[in-house]
Amino acid sequence: MPNAFLDAKGLNCPLPILRAKKAIQALDIGGLLDIQATDPGAVKDFAAFCRSTGNELLSSVQEGNVYKFTIKRVK
- Residue among 4, 11, 13, 57 flagged as catalytic: 13
Query: What φ, ψ does residue 36 adopt, rounded to 5°?
Result: -125, 130
13 part of the active site: yes
Strands 32-37 and 56-63: unpaired
What is the set of active-site residues? 13
